[in-house]
């Protein structure tokens, strides 16, 4: 078992800030950007297929977030580790903050995780990311800058064998007007766009929207794109073109 901060498992910085001087009111976040798991953790016991799958990261989300950052001139905060180590969009009190299962896969490396290992993930991955996101918001709000917070995610075409009809979804709680404009705009294409589908925001299970957005009076949404639409550079570009006017 890996343990203690002395093992220095998390040598890579926990996050990256893309375009820190971006002038857009939009602040982009990509919490599930990476599938990186330190080598010493042996993919948490997952085989190569499972470790490359959606459970480890949001396929295509980082490519889309980078493209949006460039087009909008928006700052983007990117997480550098897999959500399987600790999910940055879950409160620490959520039972699956460090998941022992994800969809059909058990995650052996997260079973019976000791307090020290857990605390190391909290201290090295979770806390620095949330401190940085809070600091970016403090700075903008302190300067009186209009700010909208947008998390960029992707989801699988099917879940537990059931096909999902939406090509994308917008998830929100308090930001009804902002999200409503976005949903209406995206629906102009005639494709199926979910409003609080395929997931809903739940303060017990979410961080970005309720904590960094709603609690601070900042309009906040998560954008969820079905990942078959983000598997090619052309797909990513097409989604960036569709989304950019509504963010």
CB of 58 to Zn ion, least distance (A): 4
Measuring CA to CA, which residue among 26, 17, 38 is closest to residue 149? 26
Run of H or E including 69: helix 61-72
Q: Would you say 153 or 242 has its CB closer to Zn ion?
A: 153
Q: Are 200 and 171 in contact (CB under 8 A)?
A: yes
How far the first Cα of the chain sits from its last, in Å, is 44
CB of 153 to Zn ion, least distance (A): 3
Task: Report the relative pairing of strands 148-155 and 219-226 from DSSP bridges.
Answer: parallel
Residue 91 structure tokens: 């409160």
Give me the phi and psi of 81, to 5 degrees please.
-130, 155
CB of 2 to Zn ion, least distance (A): 25
Measuring CA to CA, which residue among 17, 37, 203 is closest to residue 108? 37
Residue 201 structure tokens: 């925001």
Residue 128 structure tokens: 């620095």
Q: How many CA atoms lie within 13 A of 7 on its CB side?
A: 15
Interacting residues with Zn ion (CB under 5 A): 32, 58, 153
What letter would DSSP give residue 59? T
Q: Would you say 117 or 171 has its CB closer to Zn ion?
A: 171
CB of 84 to Zn ion, least distance (A): 12
CB of 31 to Zn ion, least distance (A): 6
Q: Would you say 32 or 35 has its CB closer to Zn ion?
A: 32
Q: Would you say 54 or 242 has its CB closer to Zn ion?
A: 54
Q: Would you say 72 or 171 has its CB closer to Zn ion?
A: 171
Q: Would you say 32 or 121 has its CB closer to Zn ion?
A: 32
Residue tagged 């992707």 (tokens):
154
């Amino acid at each position: 078992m890996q343990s203690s901060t002395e093992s220095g498992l998390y040598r890579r910085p926990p996050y990256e800030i893309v375009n820190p001087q971006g002038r857009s009111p939009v602040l982009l976040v990509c919490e599930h950007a990476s599938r990186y798991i330190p080598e010493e953790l042996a993919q948490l016991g997952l085989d190569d297929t499972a470790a490359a799958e959606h459970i480890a990261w949001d396929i295509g989300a980082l490519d889309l977030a980078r493209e949006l950052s460039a087009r909008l001139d928006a700052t983007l905060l990117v997480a550098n580790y897999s959500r399987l180590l600790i999910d940055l969009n879950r409160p620490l009190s959520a039972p699956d903050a460090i998941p022992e299962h994800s969809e059909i896969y058990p995650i052996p490396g997260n079973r019976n995780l000791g307090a020290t290992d857990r605390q190391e993930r909290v201290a090295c991955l979770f806390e620095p990311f949330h401190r940085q996101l809070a600091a970016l918001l403090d700075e903008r709000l302190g300067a009186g800058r209009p700010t909208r917070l947008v998390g960029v995610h992707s989801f699988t075409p099917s879940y537990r064998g059931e096909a999902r009809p939406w090509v994308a979804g917008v998830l929100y709680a308090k930001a009804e007007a902002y999200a409503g404009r976005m949903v209406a705009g995206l629906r102009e294409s005639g494709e199926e766009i979910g409003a609080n589908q395929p997931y809903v925001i739940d303060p017990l299970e979410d961080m970005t929207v309720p904590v960094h957005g709603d609690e601070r009076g900042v309009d906040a949404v998560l954008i969820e794109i079905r990942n078959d639409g983000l598997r090619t550079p052309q797909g990513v570009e097409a989604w960036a073109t569709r989304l950019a006017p509504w963010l």
